[in-house]
Structure 1
Amino acid sequence: MAGLHTLRSELAQAKERILKIETYFKVAFAVAAIFGLAGAFGASIISSIKSEIAVLSADKDKLAEVIGEIKRDAVNAIVTSEKESLAKISSARNGAISRIDGEVSEEISNFLSNSEVVTLYKCPVGTGGWTPGGAWGSYGCQGQISTHSQCTNIEHPNVQNRDCNELGTFKLAR
């Protein structure tokens, strides 16, 4: 960064020198025009000023090139630092994910070892056309999901048992 400061200082000095030379050039031109000095002296000054401007312009281009190199180096250093930071973050994240995966696997294992398998059934709705009549009724087949393989409809004194359809098994935690 100290090199960049020095380059900026030299660039500022070069700009000042160019401004001074341009001022001299303008003054010399004005003097030559006012006093009618169009001779060798004026031409010599103009030639000298042009060569000084060419040298300073080359110095300015060289400074701009060096500044460009410094900027590229700084950007590359920042990019490298950011890549290293992202790699560290990614590594930490992967470690956390592995730890969480282990904890979840352990929880699932504990759940499975402390659970009971239950078969579930879906019972039919209504009596399926059965109409014996009776003093009172209780209708246990209402399309419910149950752990029983049958449901019961009663029209006292008559009883109807209907088969329920197996849905599958379910793990029930204790």
Structure 2
Amino acid sequence: MSMNKAESITKNFGPFGVIFGSLLVGISAIPLSSQAIPVPNVNACLSLSPEALANQGRANIARENCTVVAQAAPPLPEELQPPSATVVLVNGTVNVTLVNQTYTDITYQVVGDTEPRPLSGRDDVTLRTLRAPVTLTFQRPDRGLLLVSPQASEAGSLEVTLTETTDLDVDKSAMTIQETGEVFLN
């Protein structure tokens, strides 16, 4: 008979156990869902450009309530690395001799000046009177890596040797000559 009593107690408390168990789980979750989520302070002026405000006739509001913040710009190459070479410019120009020491063509371009041009393997070309600042790009058709080695040979002249490499750390595809004669590789 004690088995029957135990079975009847279990049967009677079965639905109550489910109900009270669910309540315990639900109650423990309530404090988590009611906690406030911190919201960072946002400068409301950042979403309003001076041009947009002026067009809407609210320029005075912008000047009174907002501080104009300069936009962040990525650092220039010369701020991140020392120059790879320095050449003395002659009247703001430089002659650049590209020497392809690979066995494959290399496509080069003077950005804003020329269309992409091929330079055959084991060949060279001299680009005359390039006005600084000037950027040159280099690319192998097989997407192989290039080691770009600029060397100032004399005033107004820069020799750039292009060789194959397997080292990703030295692979370069662009060269910029600044108005100061500093040469940077990217």
Q: Highest relative contact order (Cα 8 Å, sep 6+), 1 or 2?
A: 2
Higher strand share: 2
TM-score scaled by length of structure 1: 0.30
Task: Pick the structure with greater CA Rg.
Answer: 1
Q: What is the TM-score normalised by the length of structure 2?
A: 0.28
Name the structure where helix makes up a greater proportion of residues: 1
